[in-house]
Every structure is written in C-alpha cells, then in structure tokens.
Amino acid sequence: MPRLRAVTALDLALAGLGIGAIAALAGLGLLLTYRVTGVLNLAFGAIAMIAAYGCWQATRVWHWPVGLAGLVVIGGVCPLIGLTLERLVYRPLLRRAAAPAEMLVASLGALVLLVGIAVVVWGLPPRLDVPSLTPAGTVVLPGGTHLSIATLVELAVVAAFAAAGTLALRTTWGRQVRAVVEARTLAELDGIDADRVSAVGWVVGAMLAGTAGILLAPALRLTPYGTTLVVLETMAVVVVARLASVAMAIAAALAIGVAQAELTRVHLSGRAGSVLSAVTANLFVVALLVAVIVVRRLQGDATNDLGATAPLARRGLVLHRRGWWIPAAVTLAAPMLFNPADLHTALQVPALALIVSPPGPRRRRS
C-alpha cells in the first residue's frame, strides 16, 4: 500500500510537469517581451487564445493537417499579430517615451480588442475538439511510472526556447536590446535600429504566446474569455522571477504545476473542501497574488531597474508597517468565497476602476 501511494504521487507530479511546462513557455514569452521592449504585455493571453482558435479553424473547418496548421499559425499568424501591435500601438508610445501607465492601458486595450475579434469571428460557444500538436502515448520510466510524450515534448520546447533566449541576450543583439530598453534615444544616436529590436521582441513573444495557447487548448474548453484568462494566470511565474530570471520563471512554473497536481490528492469536506477546490483550480492566481505581496521590487535586470515597473519601484510603493499583509490577503482571497453569480458581478468592479481611474501626475522633463 505505501508503494502504491508513492507511485500515485509521482504520477501526479509528472502530470503536473505538463501544465508547468506550458506555463513556463507562456512565462518565457512574457519575460522575453518585457526584457526586449520594456512592456509588460497583458495582451499575451489574447494572442495565445487567437492562436488556439486559428489552429482549430485550420484543422476542424478547413481540414488541414495538424502539423501544417500549427506551423502556419505559430510561424505566420502570431508574428503578424506581434508586428501589428508593435507598429500601430507600441512604437508610437515608445518613441514619445510614454508613461508606464499608458503602456499598461494600451496593453489592456489590445487584450480587449483581440478578445472582441475572437467573439465576433468564432462566437462564445466552447470548442471541445481542439487538435493536439503533440503525439499521444506514454513512455515508461524506471519503476513503472508512465510519462506522457506530450509532457516530454513540452519540456523540450521550454528548454530549447530558454537556451536560445539566454544565448541571444548575451550576443551583440542582446547588448543592443539592453541599450534600447535603458535609453532608447541614446541607442538610436549610437546607430542601433530600436524599432527593429522591438519588432523582433514582439515577433518572438507572439510566437511563444501562440505555442503556449495551442499546447494548452486541448486540455481546456476553448472560449475567448476562459482561454485568455488561463494563459494570463501564468503571469505569476514572471512576478516570482522578478521580471529578470529565466531560470527562476521556469522553476516557478514547474513547481506550481506539480503542486496543483498534488493538491488533487487532498480531500476535505464541507466549506473547507470547496475552498480547497477553488485554490487548486486557481493555484496560479493564488501564486500571483502571493508573489505580488511578497516580492517587494520588480526589476528587469539584476542591477538596474528597467521597463514599465521601474518608476513604481523608485517611488517607494512598498508597505513597511507590520501586519499590512493581513487585510491585503483577506481582500485578495475574498473572491474565492463568492457564489458564481456574485463573482461575475464583482469582477466588473476592478474593470470599471481601471477605466475611470484618473491618470497619475506627469513628471516634468528636464
């Protein structure tokens, strides 16, 4: 009997690695886009959702082979979306040194626009027949434990992208990236094509978003809102990594994925069971909330504050009073206790707050 429990726990952990690998892939896309452009791309989840719908459309409606559909969507549609957003939305903002709040609002607007396009084109009914790019089947590990081939493929893709991104940032192009993010005007005076650097970052980030969305969609009910939010939950891993460490982002994603799988073995009754089920199903959200509270400083480099969150860190928006985290934690966890109908209404409150909140004071340029 003890042997059976150990194998069951290991099986769950290996299953959690699959979800963690996809979350790591999404986190890498967010992190890479931020490191290259200085923009925390909230539209990342919507790009992943559009890619998943595009793959579904090509295979189920146009009857393309799955491999061809994935190649066209990841290699063609996603870069086109990334270039369009960079050229029409973010390039004008970066050229006039827009404030971080403007960047975040633009990113939120891009998210809403892409979700709206998906609703108009594909509607709200969920798609349950999303094709899978990864082959079916399992491999037997020593000890008789089974690991799915899909998980192996996903881990290999994460390792390949992480290695390629890390090496690229250490090349001449990587030095150009750091120069553009730190001081765009000075980089352009030095002969660096800042627009080209940003465009490359958006293309690669959109491709990573599409890959994550296509890999994740077969395990979900594909809907415009649900898929977008599920992918956005992976923002937890980049917050844990402080918007700086690729290795930490991957480790956080894998750890949360394994923890989510292991929590399914815990069974409680009554209200505690309902809360545990909610926490398990939304563990990435819980991790994001905890990370926002615990991680006191977000930065884009090990030594320098870069990108959209640096001004927030410099302004000292950190609470130092003892016990401040108690009301914050209670407030953030409260939605888990709501009824579904009440939660749907409550979600409109932060959305309206974002819309009607006044802009912060503009800093006078010297």
Among 78, 57, 55, 50, smallest CA distance to 68 is for: 55
* Alpha helices, H only, the chain: 2-37, 44-56, 66-72, 78-85, 91-95, 100-122, 149-168, 172-182, 184-189, 194-216, 224-232, 235-240, 246-263, 270-281, 283-294, 310-314, 325-333, 340-346, 348-356
Q: Is 70 exceeded by the pLDDT of residue 356? A: no
Comparing 22 with 342, the larger pLDDT belongs to 22
111-120, 191-200, 241-250, 352-361: least confidently modelled range: 352-361
Residue 146 has what pLDDT? 75
pLDDT of residue 315: 40
CA dist 67 → 55, 81, 82, 161, 216 (Å): 10, 20, 22, 19, 16
Task: Give me the residue spans of the domains in the chain.
Answer: 2-227
Residue 42: both structure tokens together: 């909230």
How much of the chain, in percent, has pLDDT values that exceed 70?
Answer: 78
Query: According to the model, what pLDDT value does residue 207 have?
Result: 92
Give pLDDT, residue 214.
Answer: 92
- At residue 148, the 3 state secondary structure works out as strand
pLDDT tens track for 41-72: 888 999 999 999 999 999 999 999 999 999 99
pLDDT, tens digit, 9 for 90 and up, residues 85-120: 999 988 888 888 788 788 888 888 899 999 999 999
Give the pLDDT confidence of 173-219 residue by residue, as tens digits: 777 777 777 777 777 777 888 888 888 888 988 998 999 999 888 88
Mean pLDDT within 353-359? 48
CA dist., res. 306 & res. 310, Å (int): 5
The SS3 call for residue 102 is helix
Concatenate the DSSP letters of all residues of 212-273 into one string.
HHHHHGGGS-B-HHHHHHHHHTTHHHHHHTTTT-HHHHHHHHHHHHHHHHHHTT----HHHH
Question: Cβ-count burial of 44 within 10 angstroms (0-12 exposed, 13-18 middle, 19+ buried)?
Answer: buried
89-118 residues labelled b (16+ CB within 10 A) or e (exposed): bbbeebeeebbbeebbbbbeebbeebbeeb
Residue 27 has a pLDDT of: 87
